[in-house]
Every structure is written in C-alpha cells, then in structure tokens.
Structure 1
Amino acid sequence: MPMSILERLASPQGLRTQEPNEEAAALCLESPELLEEIATGLASRDARLAGDCAEVMTKVGERRPEVTAPYAEALVLALGHKNGRVRWESAHALALVADRAAKVVEAALPTLEGLVCNHDGVIVRDYAIDSIARWGTTAPARASRAWEILRDALTAWDGRHAHRILGHGAALVALQPRLVGELRDAAASFVEDERAGTRKAAKALAKALG
C-alpha cells in the first residue's frame, strides 16, 4: 500500500533531516490536492508532525502561493499551537499568502496584532508584520488600517522591527497615497538609528517617497 503524504514526512519516519519534507513539498507542488492532508496535520497534537506539515506549507508557498492560500484558515489556527516551530513555520506560510487570502487575514488581524505586540519570538513577530503589511496591499482602506497597526509597532520591542515595517512602506503608499506624509516622517525618525539595517531601510523608504 502506498505511503500517505503524512507518512512521507520526516517525523513519522523517525528522521530529523529536511529531505523527507522537501520531497513531500515537491509532491504537493505536482499534486496540490495533497495539501488537504497536510492541512489536517497542522492541528496534530504531535508537535513534530505539525511542524513538518507547517514546513511543507512554507516550502510549497514559496513556489506556488496560490495553492497554499486556500489553507490560510488552518495556518491561522496553527499560530496558537503550543510548539514554537509550528508557530513560526505557520506564520511564515501565512505571510506568503496574506495578499491572496485577504478575508482570512482581515478576520485574523486581532491575532496578528497580538503576536506583534506580545509574542516572545522574533521570527513569529516578523512574519506577523509581513502578513499585516501584505494584506494591506490589497485595497486602499486596508493599506490605511495596516499602517495604523504597523505604525504603533514601530517602536515596540525597542524598535527591533522598524526595519521590517519601513521596508513595507513604499508598497502601502503606492496603494494609499494619503499615507505618504506619515511614512515620510516615520522614515526620517529612523535615519540616524544605531542599527545599520534600520538606517538602511529608513533611507531607502525616504528615497522612494521623494
């Protein structure tokens, strides 16, 4: 009897290498219907299995986000998983499809905003920011709402995520030009930041906005 897609993942085989998950992702790219089973695995109490499933969603989403977007709700639910790997892989996979699953992301904004403000994992916060920003590129009103959230997050965590937020600024302004003044001011406030990455992002945004 042929192995199911879940049985092909690393943890069911007792492995800790990436190759089985990469192979499973390749199969899902060829046959996207296999993602249905991967999505059910996201809710598994077996943290390693759920993490493998989230990793496959990310690997597939990097290549074909249109086939993982229908599983955005499952990814949102996985953001609350007890396991850290499941959370950050799911956050990554969601960020890849946030502009294709705008209604799901909009409903999840309180969850995403809560992650940005309160989650102790930097990676999860980064990808939550990406999801909010990419959702914001789908409509002018959403761009305004996304900026409201991200503006408040600029100084959170001692400004640790400012470079990432500023990096999304030009895309938001392109959709909602009325934000240009606020984003120009935001860029100006970070051009002398002590962190090189933040200074670079601020200067790039300032240049893009003119």
Structure 2
Amino acid sequence: MTVISKLASSLNRRDEVPNQELATEIAVNADSTAVAELVENLSHKSKDIRHDCIKVLYEIGAQSPSLIAAYANQFAALLDSKDNRMQWGGMTALNTIVLEQPDVVFASIPKLAAVADKGSVITRDSFVAILIQLSGIPAYSEQTLPLLNEQMLGCPSNQLPMYAENALPVISGTHKAEFVRTLTSRLGDFEKDPSVSGWRRF
C-alpha cells in the first residue's frame, strides 16, 4: 500500500485522523521514502491529495523536524502558490524546521510576511512563531526582532498576549525597551476590550 493510498482523501474520509495517524507512523519509523513520496505529490493534479500531503508533512515536522528538513526549499516554493491552503501549509511546515534550516527560512521572510499580511490568523500565528525562533538565533536576531515588533504593533489585540509571552525569552538588550514601548502603546486596546485573556500580565 502506497503512502498516497493512506491519505484521508484516498480513504474517502472528511476528517484529518488518517492523515495524523499516517504522520505519526512515518515519524516513528523515520520513513524517509514515504516523506519523499509525499513531497513529490505536492504537485499532484488532485487538490485533495495535495492538501493531504502538506498536512501530513507538517504533522511529521512537528514530531520529527529532521525528517522533512531537507525539503525546506520545496516548502518555501509553496509560498508562491495560488492555493491558500498550500501557502499556509508550506509556512506551517517551515515553522517546524526553523532550527534545522534557518538559512532557508530566513531567506523566505519577505514571502512569509506577504502571505501573513493577506492570510488568516493561523498564517499570522505561524509567521510570528517563525520570527520568534529566528530571533533566538544570534545570527538573525538583529534583523528579525524589529520585524517581530512590527507584528506586535499591528496584530489583533486578542493575539498580542500570546505573541508577547512567547517572545519574551528571545527579547533582550537594546530591543527590550522597544518592545516595552510597543506593549505600552497598545494598552488602550485592552481597555476597550478587557475580556482579552492574559492582558494584565503585560
């Protein structure tokens, strides 16, 4: 049985359980052949197959980043796709391998930013998570921390507490004062919407 035959769409399933189970099976067995087959089918003529393949790949990445890291360029190429599902799927996959392939991910920042600006909350979440990881790497932090600050300035108020909390470990030195100013400047947003969870911590 091929990997493609185990995908949710191949099984006529509308839920994601088969894809999640397949990802775990591949990750546990370190099945690089299966990963290669999934990557090859990211350009399959069937949209459902393409969507299932990227789903399984980023689920594998969440469990075993090194298993999909060699395909960072293929995931980055998906950022140019006209299919939104493939765009944010590629971004999600890149988010799992930042520490494995920081050079490729860093070089993709302009495209990542463009996708995040036009995309959903999930897309923005992935972009911020990528920036946070890159900001924890000294070689990239000076370039990525200002971009992270921009995201905090413009993100929806209900996302800001999570972004700020996740970013705290990588914010240091001269950038700390800038982030404090950003958070302080947005306190008015929370006064308008005091139901936003977690805002009092900041």
Specify if TM > 0.5: yes
- Is residue 2:146 matched to residue 1:148? yes
Q: Distance in 2 between matches of 1:41 and 1:132?
A: 29
Decide whether aligned partners of structure 1 residues 143 and 126 sit closer, same or farther in structure 2, where only a CA change above 3 A counts: same
- 1:90 is aligned to 90
Q: How does 1:113-124 map to 2 (within 5 A)?
A: 113-117=113-117, 119-124=118-123
- TM-score of the two chains, using structure 1 as the length reference: 0.80
Decide whether aligned partners of structure 1 residues 70 and 196 sit closer, same or farther in structure 2, where only a CA change above 3 A counts: farther
Unaligned regions of 5+ residues in structure 2, if any?
none
- 1:25 is aligned to 23
Conserved in 2, the CA contact under 8 Å of 1:191 and 1:200? no
Which residue identity lines up with residue 178 of structure 1 in the other structure?
T
- 1:99 is aligned to 99
Q: How does 1:31-110 map to 2 (within 5 A)?
A: 31-33=30-32, 34-110=34-110
Instruction: State the Cα distance separating 1:79 from its structure 2 match.
Output: 2.7
User: RMSD between aligned alpha carbons?
Assistant: 2.5
> 1:35-81 CA deviation, whole Å, 9 max, x = no partner?
11112222334221111111112221222222222222222222333
Conserved in 2, the CA contact under 8 Å of 1:28 and 1:60? yes
Share of identical aligned residues, percent?
A: 20
* Bigger Cα displacement from structure 2, 53-62 vs 146-155: 146-155
Which residue identity lines up with residue 81 of structure 1 in the other structure?
S
- 1:136 is aligned to 135
Q: How does 1:149-164 map to 2 (within 5 A)?
A: 149-156=147-154, 161-164=159-162
Which residue, 164, 178, 189 being the options, matches 2:185?
Answer: 189
Conserved in 2, the CA contact under 8 Å of 1:150 and 1:165? no
Which residue, 10, 13, 23 being the options, matches 1:12?
Answer: 10
- Is residue 2:175 matched to residue 1:179? yes
Conserved in 2, the CA contact under 8 Å of 1:115 and 1:124? yes
